[in-house]
Structure 1
Amino acid sequence: MASSVEDEHLIWKILLTHDPDEKNQLDSGLLLRAVENVICSAAPEMSHHLSLKDYTLPNGGTRILESQGIKMGETLGYSLFEMQNKILFRCFEDQDLHDQVMIMFEMLGHFEWHAKVALVLAVLGISYGEFWLMIQFRPQNRLAAILAALKNCPRDLGMFKREFEALAMLINMMVEVSRTIIELESLPLQPGLLEDKVYSAAKAKIYMATYWIFRSSITCSYFIAGLRAIRHDQVYSVSRVITAGSIFRLVQKLKGFLSDLKDQLKICRHPTESRLYENLQNIFKETRIDNQEALRMLFALKYDFPFKDFHTQEKCGIRELKDKVVILLITKPEFLSIEKVFFFTKQMDDHLNMNKLEGKSALLWIPISSSGSWNNTDEVSYQWISRSFPISSSGLSLRQPWSLNQVVVRYIKQEWNFEEDPIMVLIDVNGKVTNLDAIDMVWIWGAKAFPFSTSRELELWEQQNVLLHIIIDEIDPLLTKWVEGGYNICIYASNDLDWIREFNSAISVMKAAGIQLEAVYVGWTNPGENVKNVQKTIHQERMSLSISFMKMRYFWLRLESIKKSIHKFKNEEGFDVIANELSGLLDFDDNDKGWALFGTGSSPDVAKLKGENFRRCFEFVPVWAKHVKQMGLAKTIKNALELSPLNKLCKESEFLEYEEGVAEKGLICSQCRRPMEAFVVYRCDESDQELINLE
């Protein structure tokens, strides 16, 4: 797609030098931002010729070379120093400019196109910045004056005003073109997403624009170095090393490329975005050799190292997630409440620290702004959390979440149903999505839920046979001990102090009737200050035990997660009965004054009382209390709720064939729902047989 035979030949020669290495990765956007800072700060009097934005670098730019540079054996600073020396060394050689440009292509052959232009501009920025530092501080700083004299800098730069104006315009144009190349390269320029003709044209423009940026950069370096070679008697000579006219011609050349690149950006953006969305819809449904292709399509649209480690803050690449279950935690930039962060960390650490699962999974945090555009508050929240998130290991986050392709953001919101609440999407080792929201599994089961797939979630529900245990789990060690010890347990909830006092009085009646029972207060939905005050009163009046306020928040979070998890499988064939029963048990109305659940240790039976119906149940305590040991607490309370009034006698009888232990099991009357008394009836089978024979 070159515009001429000469361009086509040039592109062919350029491509022969291009052999990118995955180890040589660079944050081109951030490095270009540093160059813009240098240029804007170096010559303020020339700033009216520049259209550059004065960016503020992270940490004042002091760590850009350490943590945001090239990930390879040698540091970014050393690489730039080596390139600068080679360029300056050849400035004084009688060598063809084209040959020098091709040497630079050879030097940068292992970098991608966006990295090539950023590095070349960084080398120029160093020379440009050093020169203006000496000139600016020469009048008042003795060291700067000595260095300027040793470098033979002209004492009067006024005669070079036109050249410096042209130089400022050229540098500005180089930055604009480089920024557009980086933006164009950030699109998924893949033959599968673009027509061959469009793809080839876009790439050809990048190759040619890169060549002329290299050439312009060498010209600028020549000009700055050439000032040192000009004798004082040549200052007014027309035969200067680089003339303003030659610089202006380069400006016009790059201006043409800038227009072409922007046109290509418009042409490429729409088809790539529409096809990218279609590809995303399909790629996560397919099983592949590994997860690399799917993750690259999702993340590696701008950078080859899109992640950073929570602890070391080092950059990480997509290939580091190969052969791992990738847990995508998608939230708003402010992440979660403090309590949820604590709970999530506890649950995930329990999982990630298990030896058998070590290295098999990776948690990746993806913050997405609700408004669609990141503001300063969003960035501050992200930076704080990404540096202080307390996950113990295998925790990553996007390095620059604001750069996430908007097509990907739209896909996550529309296809994965991300709105305001956090979701956790699971991608298996083969790049297939196995669960669109596994965060409820984390709240409910923690480590046991790995690998957090939908099939694993259903399997866990089918294994549940103790309702009380799944509700309480390990929220409090004492409660867990009671469940495992077979205790009669009552957990109750309310924010109505009068209801709580009346309910605890009824519990006292139960205990007085000989029922061994442990009652525990668990707060109310979305525990707040009111619950704290109720909790304090319960403690002062010694009504019952109470879990801590922090554990209350965790308890209600898990309860809500249990409801949502059960709802997903309500139509699943073969779904265990316990989940359906839980759904009914957890169907509480916030308008009720309170509710209570009764159960015994590992028994599958649980009874629920809510609102005022506990009064009717406890009214018959003298009748049913003696049967608790025989029938179990939950079943006895269920039967008590259906008791007929005591002033009505029931004469219902039932006859059972004798079996070992049948009398100990007990029987509930089908009419009045009270426990029936056991009587023994004898019958002579032999007499019956004789009567039959007589007939």
Structure 2
Amino acid sequence: MTPDQPSAPTPNYLHSDDDAIIKKVLETHKPDHRKVDVYHLFSIVAKILAHDEGSSADVPNGTYGFGMPEVAADIINKVSCEMACKCSGKDANRVTMVLLETVLPNYSWDAKLVITVASFAVIYGEFYLLTQFYNASNPNPNPVAKNIALLKQLQGIMEDASLLQHLFGAITELIKAIMTVTKYLLQLNDLSSEYFAIYKSPLSTATDIARSAYWAVFVLITIGTMTKELSVLASKVSSIQILLQNQLDTLIQEIEIYNSLIKLFNTVHQDNTAILQVMFPMDGGKPPLVIGNSYTEVKIDALQGKNVLLLISSLDCLDEIKALAKLYDQLEKNGKIQYKLVWVPVADQIYEQHFSSLKSLMPWYCVRHPSIIRPGVIRYFREFWNFTKQTILVPLYPNGQVQPIYTLDFVWASGICSVIGLHPDGNWKFLCEDHGLSLDLLIHDLYTVDLTMPSPIICLYGGEDIKWIEEFTTAINRIKDVTKLSMDLVYVSQSKAINQTNKAIFDFITGRKLGVYWNVEETYSWRFWARLESIFSSGLRKGIYPKVNNTMKDVGTLLSFSGSYSGWAAFGQLGTSHKMAKATGEVVLQVLSNISSWWDAAGGSEFFLLELNQQIQKQLIDKPNHCCHIVLPANVAEIADEMMTCTICDRKMGKYLMTYRCWLGQKTTGDHHQEPLVLESLVDSQRNALDEIENLGRAHDTLLQKTIVPGDCSGPNVR
């Protein structure tokens, strides 16, 4: 240490934004989970730097305890050598980066810092011992110490007691600050590890830890030579200390919130407001709840003694909210709302305009802003209620009890518009019973019939080929004349279609009085497809596959029509258990054109459905080339390849993951809930193939990730 040596000007990066430096620092971090007893090492270092064998230097309680660490000699010696090189005038930033990149890359952040502090303690301890043995006031100083000081060019400082005292004073204060930073970093690294997955800004916490470790190492390297800049270093360390203290205080608070919820939910209360007040604290003195579409403020007390239904979701839920708002409106008009619905938005990134747009759709209670939902609360949602990104419904009863918890899949799949009267184990009973997909399950709350009249056959159909639609509706009118059966036609739009796209179809249906159509704004089409997706994905999660379950097979067949430009049709009857008849437009037209060969004038609607099913199956067996592809939701778990078979020919399906999305529209228009353009390439990425796929499957503009298509279905049928 040579305080007489002229020091270089203070580096600019001590005063400037250090984001570029920290980005490089993060790139050096390659931990391999090796264990280091950082608390044991820190306790030894604290005693050295405190000049006191018995001092604990406020050492935090650790979680390791492996005895003397394996890094004590080798790594500490390497770091000490690099620090000694700095004393020869090398650039401190370069030395710091060399340590982080070549000597310490595989250690955790707290281990990197403690090892560096230990290395500094070795150098500092040697200097301290040298001053004690040299002792300039002693007329007979230790000759070994005197000669070592001479070799190290420290004789001047050893002879100047006032300079030595000043130097020790300044360095001691800086060392105390570094030790405090190290202590905070040890505690923060321990506490934050379990929060990185749920913290609102996990990257920020990790970056702050890296920033603190870098600057602490930098300061330790420069203490010995930058004596004229010790005040600058002290300021830097002080800012790091404040940063870590704030992070530590925040994490401790989140842990307390998390533990409070555990305790509250394990205690029977007279009302649920104690829980809700922890979940939704006051927001700047304002009540935490508002009525979404009116922004009327609501106090937590308004929920006292009420059945509360928590709707917990991400902000990526525009279609769900639109559909749910329609259902809520219907229930409210019928006087069936028995729960106070509260939307709880959980988001890492918040787009204010999008959030406000979602909130404006809701006639129920909403949390004022996602920032109110603390990380400790989100952790509870995830660990106890299994919340991920999939929307869940949590009934909270007046006494604070919660059971059961439903995914919103249940609402769409069951067709029941609230959780009132639902049974926890009855969600997917229809899958287990496996009687096949009935029309009641699919549309009973989407389409009503006159109960005073005989139940008609209902024909659902879709696609965007206006020529096929005209041929199909003409054939249906002919069938009605031949069979004298009552048939209702319902056109089903794509779930995310733009109404303008189908305007010609809607005008055609209206002009020729061909029944009704479900447009996007009414949400019936979205609920129809969402119900199918929910049944299918939930069945897969429960290990129920189309290969062994008729209901799943029927659902898969209908899902294969989703987004098809070509036509499709499905026939059924409400109030019966008859299996639906369904097929692509080509097959349906072929079967209907041959009705004279299979229709029995004595037959009724039951005969028509049974025979239509048989004729469709016969057509598929005779010409097994009408195979399908299915686009699965992104939240579906990995599926065993052998369990996914074509719902038409039963051959094993091949999986393709070539998905392309353009998010530019979101970023340039500011419409953050705009759907991306998605192109599913089923064969290759060449333009001609993509154009063909775009014509054949235009519903791939959904946010669905996995595309499953049949393998070589042109071979022999292998039922």
Q: TM-score, normalising length from structure 1? A: 0.44
Larger Rg: 1
What TM-score do you get using the length of structure 2 for normalisation? Answer: 0.43
**Structure richer in helix, relative to its length:** 1
